[in-house]
């Protein structure tokens, strides 16, 4: 899997662009967050850099070293600092910290580890911590067949539903949970009308 992502990120171009995800950006701006934020599956760093520019202390991880290299290059260009580790989540030092917020932005993990990762991310959040998520929904597969340029996993088990969110994050007050159609314009691989799940939750305990 990491070979595929290393190949995708190896070029000079940022394949999902350098601007933050729209939902992530609006949530960061509206919630006036502070403290430490965790960004799993962060790729080339577009959201991590925006979070750092917003004054947050950023910890990010991915399985792609090429993604990390691009993220650190972008952070240097934007004159911010981010902490970025590469490897399997449970092997990383960042699992030994607590966070005020976490964001899963198109972070689609293989089905055999997804719930395990989600539960651990929830555990790392402080009480009252905020979880921000946008990802392709199970309803997205039909749109992906019509227009492969919209991207997203082709495996139904890697996609989100409102039920799967509530199952994996039970100890959260739901501030927003919806399935919506959006037009993505994110680099080369997220382009077109897509069906996504958007979730903002506050940890209750």
**Cβ(49)–Cβ(75) under 8 Å?**
yes
Measure the CA–CA gap between 80 and 29, rounded to whole angstroms: 18
pLDDT single digits (tens) 84-127: 999 999 999 999 999 999 999 999 999 999 999 999 999 999 99
DSSP 58: E
CATH code for the structural domain at 2-203: 3.40.50.150
Query: Which pLDDT belongs to residue 88?
Result: 95
Query: Which pLDDT belongs to residue 205?
Result: 76
**Domain boundaries along the sequence of the chain:** 2-203
The Cα angle at residue 166 between residues 40 and 162, in degrees rounded to 5: 90
Helix or strand or coil: residue 24? helix
Tell the burial category of 162 from Cβ atoms under 10 Å away from its Cβ (0-12, 13-18, 19+): middle
Measure the CA–CA gap between 153 and 175, rounded to whole angstroms: 26
Query: Which pLDDT belongs to residue 55?
Result: 98
**Cβ(59)–Cβ(38) under 8 Å?**
yes
**Among 33, 39, 163, 157, which Cα is nearest to 100's?**
33
Mean pLDDT of 178-182: 96
Query: Which pLDDT belongs to residue 196?
Result: 97
DSSP 160: B
pLDDT single digits (tens) 1-59: 567 999 999 999 999 999 999 999 999 999 989 999 999 999 999 999 999 999 999 99
Q: How far is CA 123 from the centre of its chain?
A: 17
């Amino acid at each position: 899997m990491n070979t595929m992502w290393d190949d995708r990120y190896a070029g000079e171009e940022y394949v999902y662009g350098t601007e933050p995800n729209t939902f992530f950006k609006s949530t960061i701006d509206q919630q006036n967050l502070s403290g430490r934020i965790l960004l799993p599956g962060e790729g080339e760093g577009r959201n991590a850099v925006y979070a750092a520019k917003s004054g947050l202390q950023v910890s990010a991880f991915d399985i792609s070293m090429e993604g990390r290299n691009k993220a650190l290059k972008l952070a240097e260009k934007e004159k911010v600092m981010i902490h970025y580790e590469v490897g399997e989540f449970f092997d990383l030092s960042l699992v030994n910290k607590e966070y005020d917020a976490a964001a899963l932005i198109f972070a689609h993990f293989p089905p055999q580890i997804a719930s395990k990762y989600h539960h651990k991310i929830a555990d790392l959040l402080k009480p009252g911590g905020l979880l921000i998520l946008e990802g392709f929904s199970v309803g997205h597969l039909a749109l992906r067949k019509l227009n492969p340029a919209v991207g997203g996993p082709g495996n139904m088990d890697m996609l989100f539903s409102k039920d799967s969110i509530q199952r994996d994050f039970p100890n959260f007050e739901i501030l927003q949970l919806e399935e919506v159609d959006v037009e993505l314009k994110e680099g080369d691989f997220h382009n077109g009308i897509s069906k996504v799940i958007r979730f903002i939750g506050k940890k209750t305990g």
